[in-house]
Structure 1
Amino acid sequence: MMRACLLAFLTVTACTEASAPDTTPERTRLAPGEIRSGYTFLQPQTQALQDDDFANPGFLWVDRGDALFHEAAANGKSCASCHGEEGEELASAAAHYPAIDEDSGELVNIEGRINLCRARHQEREPLDYESDDLLGLTAYVAYLARGVPMSVDISGAAQSWYEKGEDYFYTRRGQFNLACSQCHNESWGKKLRGDTISQGHGNAFPGYRLEWQSFGSLQRRLRDCDSGVRAEPLDYGSDTYKAVELYLAKRAEGLAMESPGVRR
């Protein structure tokens, strides 16, 4: 936490427009051809850790998810019963989430879809955010889409969610009065002490962060960012964070899915 706050403080000192407390930053867009995965900003040793499926610690959760995917519920149904023994029916699904659930009309991310499937088809209780079981299933589904370009639908009912997520990305918050865009649009590639600021894409999540020494969801990362600027983190599964996930997925369109990624 202290390290995150220090990095945010250093960002404040580097931003020339941080003196306008009530002003939303100009919506600086990433130019075509400039979209880069956070992987490209990692040290070679960290890249090597992600690339090695035996050494990458995220595969502990993928393996857990694989086992849960094939575990039958009391009604005899497993995830594999509908989606194939190797998950072939879900081969690219994670690259297209968050998405609107047709039955409820609500936006759901992968975690939400897994819990809806558990309730609707397996007569099971939903899993808690950041529980190893939900992280494992999410990691397994995301792993099935590894290498697939991200592409989400923001038309129709998804449009208002996308706009809500975009607004959050550009709104200053917290005691440091910073917006996501100030780091990840305007300052990416610059140095903060020993780190290089990335463009803030979520294509490696759920992923393993060396700072956490653990595996976590994209929403855990969003909560870390809010804490880093000394803003109150939102609840896991909040509509706002789901909207931000949709905005980030569209912003990263074309980047390959990397989960389980490894990040600093």
Structure 2
Amino acid sequence: MTRSQKKLPVARRRFATTASAAHWVLRNVELSSLAFLALVIAAVWGFAELADEVVEGATNSLDRDILLFLRSSTNSAVPLGPPWLQEMARDVTALGGVAILTLATAATAGFFMMRQHYGSMVYLLATVGGGIVASSIAKGLFDRPRPDLVPHGSIVTTASFPSGHSMMAAVAYLTLGVLIANALADRRLKAYVLCLAITVTLLVGVSRVYLGVHWPSDVLAGWLAGTGWAALCLLGARAMSVM
């Protein structure tokens, strides 16, 4: 047997291994894309159903009960817990504000630009910018008044439904979480980053109800809209081979 003949089985094994790895990657990419598509559909359906209930007034009683549950039983003007908890709630709610999200988005976009990852930069800016526009349109469309049962623990000037802080926290932090997770090889680190993004998103929404500036249904709608928009943009980025 010549040397070239001996190398042939090795080459075949390497080719088979490479082909198997490529097939595994493609299969998992397809499965993850289907999962994100299902998430988009579920989020859109959930938002539409919730919006219909809100317009009909079916959520009013539950909204009122949850809002008052987070208040002192003797004085509804005072949130549950010590004063430092109220201050922490204001700190947390700022994570969903325009200033913090704009700064975080601009800083991350600048990082991608310096690394010449222009696709990720455009994807991030389009996702967050589009989310802001979608949130503003939805608020103007529904024009729901803010809660008037309790004093507001934060200054508000726009309509109540959906919660802009909750929606933009979902859009920005979930998008940032996906971008960071894609750069990591360790699955445990990926899970940690995504769980952290989800936790921050949830805390921002809860803080809005705790401070009395949103009905619980506003926050739930914001989470659904933000998650759906972030997943839709991710699918678009994958279709254009940006991600």
TM more than 0.5 = no
Rg larger for: 2
Determine which structure has the larger strand proportion and give its number. 1
Determine which structure has the larger helix proportion and give its number. 2
